[in-house]
Structure 1
Amino acid sequence: MSGGLGQVIGEIMAFTDAFRGVTIANMMRNEAWHFLRLGNFLERADSAVRLWTTQADPEFSLVRDGPDSPHAGFHRVALLEAASALMPLRRLHGEPNRQGVTEMLLRRPDFPRSASFCLGEAQSNLAALQVDMCEPVMRELGKALAGVSHLEPEEGAAGMFAFGAARQADISAVEAAVDERFFVAQMPLRRAA
């Protein structure tokens, strides 16, 4: 095997992207398609929140050296690049500071990789699956969407980390409500003999 692990990982990523593209482009727009999209958008929202939360990780220079250090700036640029958000932020004349990162990764309803956009799309897919607005899964999703769109993280690493953890918990609650709504048969855990 020439190229090693990096080549294998690259091939897996390319195949996954191709599979997702072909599936999304060619699948009938029925329940299965909406359910697939629901899962994709919940996963993306969770990823966006986790990426945003790395700003509060004490292992990163942002926390160690302070929010205005050059290392913190490089870290924020890397976060935005990881989400393909740096150039869209610059087109909006935004800066890669804490507010810019929060805006792009969490709040922008018109940026496809923001948590707000992804949760809004998840809501649309649930509606297409004929889930009523008063059902628990829609309420949990509304709470998660409000959290990423409107709540403000506190200053400092501890406040940011708590905010990120709370938003992740909100998204996990949505996922649990989806499980409960769509997967009726709850299988009891078996004990190993």
Structure 2
Amino acid sequence: MLGRTANGIFWMYRYLERAENTARLLAAGHRMTLTRGGDAANQEWRSILTTLGLLQAYNEHYEDYTGAHVCDFVLRARVNPESVLSMFERARMNARSCRSAITAEVWEAVNEGWMSLSDLLARQVRESNLGMALGAIRRESTLARGATYGSMLRNETYAFARLGTFLERADNTARILDIKYYLLLPSLSYVGTALDSGQWDNVLRSLSGERAYRWLNAGRMDARSIADFLILDDRFPRSLSFCLTEMRENLAKLERMHGGDGPAHEAIRAVDTKLLGKTVEDIFDRGLHEFLVDFISANQTVASSIAEQYRFIA
């Protein structure tokens, strides 16, 4: 496979995953603001911008953190190159440039998804329609992923698609956990209160893990149990452990196809050492923030090593 094609596939699926993750995060934030008013609600929206890495860019254009402004900026603002609409447009551009490597079903899912969202986000989304709009974003991303799973050969293309998906997903999970632990709570005095429990519930909902977590933990809601679930439980498809397993397996497939390993395989082995054999107590003893920052950095190294090893050309 040409490096240009591999790069297009890899980033196409990163953008699809990122768009879906952004919609989930906005939905969780919106739910939380419905129970809080005034400055507290504005701080929830601010924390979302921080999680997405968009706070500085947002502050260049707005002086407040109202839901209407934040959602419009994140979903569709022309001044925001990382908006959901821009992500879907880039996913479509990559899909179009790689049409010979994907099936007709995948192209149709991505192209129709972009057209649908372009119509939906042609004007500012009202708060009364926000849930519907965010549901549509999640649905379009899911349809593209389903078409991929149901129609693609399990070859190089599929391996790069899965690598892009799970690299992005792991980064999202780690960032949401880190922001929660350091920014969402107004004060340590809130730890263990109803507000604290509500925030952790919100984290689980933003990662589609609330119901699965409750099945496994009988409703217990505390930082260590949730961190254990989101970091180490390899049954949950958005946990760091699950994402790492998927990345490792798809890099192993590429190794067999290409007859050797390289920088990407070395990088994934380095990430392995951060998780394998660890307990949540080990992670908290070291510091959850320090662990997550280290993981995010190592995950980014895996991404750049994949680009280097497989000669991505944008």
CA distance in 2, matches of 1:10, 1:90: 23
Shift of 1:177: 0.9
* Aligned CA distance change for structure 1 residues 74 and 19 (closer, same or farther; 3 Å): same
* Aligned CA distance change for structure 1 residues 138 and 62 (closer, same or farther; 3 Å): farther
Aligned residues: 183
Asked if the contact 1:105–1:115 (Cα under 8 Å) also holds between the matched residues in 2, the reply is yes
**Alignment of structure 1 residues 14-163 onto 2, 5 Å:** 14-58=139-183, 60-61=184-185, 63-93=187-217, 95-130=220-255, 135-149=262-276, 150=278, 152-154=282-284, 159-163=287-291
Q: Percent identity?
A: 23
Alignment match, 1:171 = 299
CA distance in 2, matches of 1:70, 1:89: 18
Amino acid at match of 1:41: F
Shift of 1:184: 5.8
Asked if the contact 1:106–1:115 (Cα under 8 Å) also holds between the matched residues in 2, the reply is yes
Shift of 1:63: 4.3
CA distance in 2, matches of 1:127, 1:171: 17
Task: Give the alignment's Cα RMSD to 1 decimal.
Answer: 2.8
Asked if the contact 2:248–2:268 (Cα under 8 Å) also holds between the matched residues in 1, the reply is yes
Question: Higher mean Cα deviation, 116-125 or 20-29?
Answer: 20-29
CA distance in 2, matches of 1:167, 1:8: 32
Shift of 1:11: 3.5
* Aligned CA distance change for structure 1 residues 125 and 117 (closer, same or farther; 3 Å): same
3-state secondary structure, aligned to 1:183: coil
* Aligned CA distance change for structure 1 residues 71 and 8 (closer, same or farther; 3 Å): closer
* Aligned CA distance change for structure 1 residues 9 and 110 (closer, same or farther; 3 Å): closer
3-state secondary structure, aligned to 2:217: coil
Asked if the contact 2:255–2:261 (Cα under 8 Å) also holds between the matched residues in 1, the reply is no
CA distance in 2, matches of 1:77, 1:133: 44
Asked if the contact 1:56–1:63 (Cα under 8 Å) also holds between the matched residues in 2, the reply is no
Alignment match, 1:190 = none
Shift of 1:4: 4.6
Asked if the contact 1:62–1:75 (Cα under 8 Å) also holds between the matched residues in 2, the reply is no
Amino acid at match of 2:268: L
Asked if the contact 1:41–1:121 (Cα under 8 Å) also holds between the matched residues in 2, the reply is yes
3-state secondary structure, aligned to 1:92: helix
Shift of 1:111: 1.5
**Unaligned 5+ runs, structure 2:** 1-118
Alignment match, 1:191 = none
TM-score (norm 1): 0.80
Question: Higher mean Cα deviation, 42-51 or 10-19?
Answer: 10-19
CA distance in 2, matches of 1:49, 1:20: 22
Alignment match, 2:44 = none
Shift of 1:171: 0.5
**Unaligned 5+ runs, structure 1:** 188-193
Structure with more of its chain in helix, by fraction: 2
